[in-house]
Structure 1
Amino acid sequence: TDPSPLGLQPIDFIPAAPQRLTDEGNDKEISVVIAASDERLGGAIAAMNSIYQHTRSNVVFHIVTLNDTVDHLRIWLGSTPLKNMRYRILDFDPRVLEGKVQVDPQKADTFKPLTFARFYLPNLVPHAEKVIYVDDDVIVQDDIVELYNTPLKPGHAAAFSDDCDSTSSKVAVRGAGNQYNYIGFLDYKKETIRKLAMKANTCSFNPGVFVANLTEWKLQNITKQLEKWMALNVVEELYSKTLAGSITTPPLLIVFYKQHSSIDPMWNVRHLGSSAGKRYSPQFVKAAKLLHWNGHFKPWGRTASYAEVWEKWYVPDPTGKFNLIRRHSEAYEAK
């Protein structure tokens, strides 16, 4: 097939149904989009494994990656118990981001094009009406079909978990200041932002787990709207100088201001990648439907909270390239 205008070239599609019974009436395809970068590939593997093991629904993973990761990913998926999953590998062309992201020449290696894959969902999964997007630093502890069935209000293209309402914020975040308000992400000194008349104390939301209605997304041209704000930011520097989170968040906050539905907060229990995660009780972590290690510490690294919960879903890399870093040993060798 010809590449789409974005260069999102489908590379693999494994159409065979999983080698196990799916529930009657559950043959509806559930599309899950996840980005898989080489240096974090073990994260995407664990996330997909946890989703796959907890569902009897017909889940298809749309794995967005860069060209040089494809072979590594294919080996990892093909020679482990994950080979029965249904998946497509999509090659993301970073050139689509030209003029839309400010890349500091000194920090070019910190530029992560795949973090923007979530902006291009209709290009990635053109035939789906509804998709789930998940970051690579999550694991799922319940059937993903429940998240998929999140009701979206008429006219809403997506459902997110609000930062102020989230169970995890109530448990973990004290003295967060502006970190979970719009002012933590956008520069309210800029006229372009002020003109939007968005209240600065509006609660932000987390873009690492969401459900999207792609019919509505296309109708409202969400991708074009997001690109517009990305390009404007390059010229006008509209994002907060002390950005509270991912650089993908500000355009989403603008485009979805008061125009998004909510997912159950237990489907995005976050902050496990920050010191706040240590405040969670084991009972709370066990009850969570989705655990999210957003923050500096990743569960494949040394110091993340509840890394042992994540590790249950990790499948060692058969090539030996990706190793877990653990306190007691320098590396967790692939067995």
Structure 2
Amino acid sequence: MTLRRVNVVILILLAVAFLIIVQRNLLNLSDFLHKESPDAGMVLPFEAELSLDQVQDMERKGEEIPVLITATEDRLGAVIAAMNSVYQNSKANVVFTIVTMNDTTDHLRMWLSQTKLKNVKHKVIIFNQELLSGKIPKDLKTTETSKPLAFARFYLPLFIPEAEKAIYLDDDIIVQGDIQELFEANLKPGHAAAFSEDCDSASSKGIVRGAGNQNNYIGFLDFKKESIKKLGMRANTCSFNPGVIIANLTEWRNQNITQQLEHWMERNTQEDLYSKTLAESVTTPPLLIVFYKRHSSIDPLWHVRHLGTTGAGNRYSPQFVKAAKLLHWNGHYKPWGRASSFSDVWDKWFIPDPTGKFHPVRRHSD
């Protein structure tokens, strides 16, 4: 009888020991799976059946990051490259608003639907040129920066009515960092927008062909005009580049920023307020007036500029360009053109046009 009891006790102890070993193994397995989660690149067995697109959709859930970009027919390849660089370098839930004209929509939709950008969240909006009626001088030269779409950034709340915050990007840019970092940058209380100061970094040394060093207000506005004098602005104040904008759309609406910009556009048609040496963006002067000392600053690495001007190749090292989070080819020389610095960086993100209408032009193609 005593022997039986001993045997029962031994069996119970063995069973307990077995359960303890099993529990420890399960805990170790759980810890292993936690450390080697999908975020670290491991695909778990139950995820193996999911398609790549489904995994991307899962990764991109969360707060939407609205990004507005404009698309003209002759620069559509630039838009595609910019969007691709944003999308591929971030897992954020980016939603593009593409503002364009009627003659571009079919080409744009085909380019997106037939390439690896087919899963990118986007909406296409046709720009209503009536918005600019009476606000642009009739004799204004038809340059890239004076075409109607250049003024789309003035109407951010109109194009993205549901958002509290948004990013505007020019088309001649490549984003190498995670766009969520830019989106989460803090704006000072009461500021409706953040821009890159033209005195913030090596980018400020850019030379605008035919106009000298335009990194202050006098390079864009005529300080001899009474309307400009009355504003009390200092002519040597650093200007900013509106090719990248972080916009607090709530403040933008509350302060009637769009209406203020339109006011100064109309005043210019009557009084010719822009500097006579102005050689680049005609959209910049109204922004400089409205946002004078009332804007936040963007991290310089998030807007490395003047890659499209002469001498940029000598000014920036390949190491610096690689470290930059956003590159901007503002200036005359575009990376899809015949002469441009670091066009090979842009080429990495360009997706060939399935229709064959757009293709980069290089010297060796002559």
Task: Report the TM-score when normalising by structure 2.
Answer: 0.82
Report if the CA contact (8 A) 2:67-2:97 is conserved: yes
Between the aligned partners of 1:162 and 1:264, the Cα distance in structure 2 is 9
Q: Does 1:295 align with 2:331?
A: yes
Report if the CA contact (8 A) 2:207-2:213 is conserved: no
Q: Does 1:161 align with 2:196?
A: yes
Between the aligned partners of 2:240 and 2:249, the Cα distance in structure 1 is 19
Compute the displacement of 1:20 (Å): 3.1
Between the aligned partners of 2:283 and 2:204, the Cα distance in structure 1 is 20
Deviates more, 1:24-33 or 1:268-277: 24-33
Q: Counterpart in 1 of 2:221?
A: 186
Q: CA RMSD in A?
A: 2.1
Compute the displacement of 1:242 (Å): 1.0
Compute the displacement of 1:104 (Å): 1.9
Deviations along 1:74-133, whole A, 9 cap, x unmatched?
00000000101000001001121011011327x457651000000000000000000000
Instruction: Please list, as runs of the form range in 1=range in 2, the aligned pairs for 1:99-110 lying within 5 A after superposition.
Output: 99-104=134-139, 107-108=141-142
Which residue of 260, 264, 269 maps to 1:229? 264
Compute the displacement of 1:276 (Å): 2.9
SS at match of 1:291: strand
Matched AA of 2:348: K
Which residue of 129, 138, 143 maps to 2:178? 143
Q: 1:265 to 1:244 in 2, by over 3 A?
A: farther
Compute the displacement of 1:275 (Å): 1.0
SS at match of 1:317: coil
Between the aligned partners of 1:25 and 1:87, the Cα distance in structure 2 is 14
SS at match of 1:75: helix
Q: 1:151 to 1:299 in 2, by over 3 A?
A: same
Task: Report the TM-score when normalising by structure 1.
Answer: 0.89
Which residue of 94, 97, 106 maps to 1:71? 106
Between the aligned partners of 1:154 and 1:263, the Cα distance in structure 2 is 15
Report if the CA contact (8 A) 1:22-1:56 is conserved: no
Which residue of 230, 249, 257 maps to 2:292? 257
Higher helix share: 2
Report if the CA contact (8 A) 2:65-2:166 is conserved: yes
Between the aligned partners of 1:305 and 1:235, the Cα distance in structure 2 is 39
Deviations along 1:279-298, whole A, 9 cap, x unmatched?
21000000000000000001
Between the aligned partners of 1:70 and 1:19, the Cα distance in structure 2 is 27
Instruction: Please list, as runs of the form range in 1=range in 2, the aligned pairs for 1:203-214 lying within 5 A after superposition.
Output: 203-214=238-249
Figure out how many residues of one structure are paired with residues of the other and give that number: 312
Q: 1:329 to 1:119 in 2, by over 3 A?
A: same
Q: Does 1:321 align with 2:357?
A: yes
Which residue of 303, 315, 319 maps to 1:283? 319
Between the aligned partners of 1:275 and 1:99, the Cα distance in structure 2 is 35
Q: Counterpart in 2 of 1:7?
A: none
Between the aligned partners of 2:58 and 2:329, the Cα distance in structure 1 is 31
Between the aligned partners of 2:53 and 2:243, the Cα distance in structure 1 is 27
Deviations along 1:163-203, whole A, 9 cap, x unmatched?
01134225x569x9651110000000100000000000000
Between the aligned partners of 1:59 and 1:310, the Cα distance in structure 2 is 20
Structure 2 residue runs of 5 or longer lacking an equivalent are 1-51
Matched AA of 1:138: I
Q: 1:108 to 1:305 in 2, by over 3 A?
A: closer
Q: Counterpart in 2 of 1:10?
A: none
Between the aligned partners of 2:223 and 2:112, the Cα distance in structure 1 is 45
SS at match of 2:55: coil
Report if the CA contact (8 A) 1:23-1:57 is conserved: no
Deviates more, 1:272-281 or 1:68-77: 272-281
SS at match of 1:60: strand
Which residue of 126, 132, 148 maps to 1:97? 132
Q: Counterpart in 2 of 1:217?
A: 252
Q: Counterpart in 2 of 1:43?
A: 78
Between the aligned partners of 2:138 and 2:55, the Cα distance in structure 1 is 46
Which residue of 145, 150, 153 maps to 1:115? 150
Q: Counterpart in 2 of 1:86?
A: 121
Q: 1:37 to 1:18 in 2, by over 3 A?
A: farther
